[in-house]
Amino acid sequence: MRDSEIFVHYFLAGEIMHNKDEYILVLDSGLGGLSVLRELSEILPEEQFLYYGDSKNAPYGTRSTEEVRLLTQNCVAQHRPMGIKTVVIACNTATAAAIEDLRATYPDTIIIGMEPALKLAVDRHPGKKILVMATNVTLREHKFTALMDRFSDTATILPLPCPGLVEFVESGQLHTPELSAYLSSLLTPVLKEDISAIVLGCTHFPFLKPVIQELAGPDVEILDGSHGTAMQTRRRLEEANLLRTGKGSITLTNSLGTPEILNRSAKLLEVPL
Ligand code: DGL
């Protein structure tokens, strides 16, 4: 190297090369993430949201971890050309299986995930019994077992895998006798345990809250992580100076692409589009 040579280095690594008007992509295996989008749109009303439900491949929660990782990676890759400043993985299952991979693939993009709201439940019910309803994938992945270990001294945590429950929401069955019978078979044995709180560790389950509350009784508090996730999204956008101002919008899409699934999505969202 000659002394006279001047080397100019541009340190772009870590810099977020996005603009405020890009979309916030909200992903789920299907319709569950709409419970998170509802909260996001309330807390960030000036943002442009692009929702993608992968109902064609739902449920994710009974698949292998590798399959869920691939499906989630595909969802993000498919939407990236549209201009995405932030990804919210509005799915506990996809977060557990894929968030580390996604962050490594897209280091310049804010990627927010979900986890069962165990900290909130333990803070509110220390020393008590807390039931966590979630998918098989969420409960078996390291992310959840580490979370459970963290709080096992402060409360008794009872994980309850709920295979089959997501399908009720996907098919629009939120109040049917079949749903009540299924939930009752799942919950009645464990509710004998004097449960203080139920954590809904799957974003589909808040849509079933009235039926779950009816079975659990009025003294059991039912919690989910959507408010915390929306607040974290706002915090991260603010830190990166990526908060948008102006009229917000919500675009709903789904891998099934049928009018039925889009109507069902709009109905579940319950906000004017
Ligand atoms: N909504 C997803 C979650 O939060 C799971 C749904 C599924 O099994 O596809 O875990």
Please report the pLDDT score of residue 272 as a whole number. 60
What's the CA-to-centroid distance between 137 and ligand 1, angstroms? 9
Q: How far apart are CA 53 and CA 35, in angstroms?
A: 12
Ligand 1 pocket, Cβ-based, cut-off 6 angstroms: 28-30, 32, 58-61, 91-93, 135, 138, 166, 202-204
Q: Which residue has tokens 């979900």?
A: 114
Kindly give the number of the ligand 1 atom that is closest to the alpha carbon of 90: 4
Q: Could you tell me if 145 and 136 are in contact, meaning their C-beta atoms sit under 8 angstroms apart?
A: no
What's the CA-to-centroid distance between 94 and ligand 1, angstroms? 7
The closest alpha carbon to 224, from 205, 200, 245, belongs to: 200
Q: How far apart are CA 161 and CA 187, in angstroms?
A: 11
- Mutate which of 68, 165, 166 for ligand 1 pocket (most atoms within 8 A of beta carbon): 166
What's the CA-to-centroid distance between 59 and ligand 1, angstroms? 6
Q: How far apart are CA 23 and CA 78, in angstroms?
A: 14
Q: Which residue has tokens 């895998």?
A: 161
Kindly give the number of the ligand 1 atom that is closest to the alpha carbon of 28: 1
What's the CA-to-centroid distance between 262 and ligand 1, angstroms? 18
- What one-character DSSP code corresponds to residue 22? S
Q: Which of 134, 165, 199, 202 is catalytic?
A: 202
Tokens at 165, concatenated: 């429950």
Chain center to CA of 249: 20
Chain center to CA of 8: 43
Kindly give the number of the ligand 1 atom that is closest to the alpha carbon of 134: 10
φ, ψ dihedrals at 204, nearest 5°: -75, -30
Q: How far apart are CA 95 and CA 222, in angstroms?
A: 21
What's the CA-to-centroid distance between 234 and ligand 1, angstroms? 23
φ, ψ dihedrals at 202, nearest 5°: -145, 135
| 75 is an active site residue | no
Q: How far apart are CA 65 and CA 70, in angstroms?
A: 9
- Mutate which of 26, 27, 28 for ligand 1 pocket (most atoms within 8 A of beta carbon): 28
Tokens at 169, concatenated: 């929401």
Per-residue confidence in pLDDT tens, the chain, 273 aa: 444 343 333 334 444 489 999 999 999 999 999 999 999 999 999 999 999 999 999 999 999 999 999 999 999 999 999 999 999 999 999 999 999 999 999 999 999 999 999 999 999 999 999 999 999 999 999 999 999 999 999 999 999 999 999 999 999 999 999 999 999 999 999 999 999 999 999 999 999 999 999 999 999 999 999 999 999 999 999 999 999 999 999 999 999 999 999 999 999 998 765
Q: Which residue has tokens 């319950």?
A: 270
Kindly give the number of the ligand 1 atom that is closest to the alpha carbon of 93: 10
Whole-structure pTM over 0.85, yes or no?
A: yes
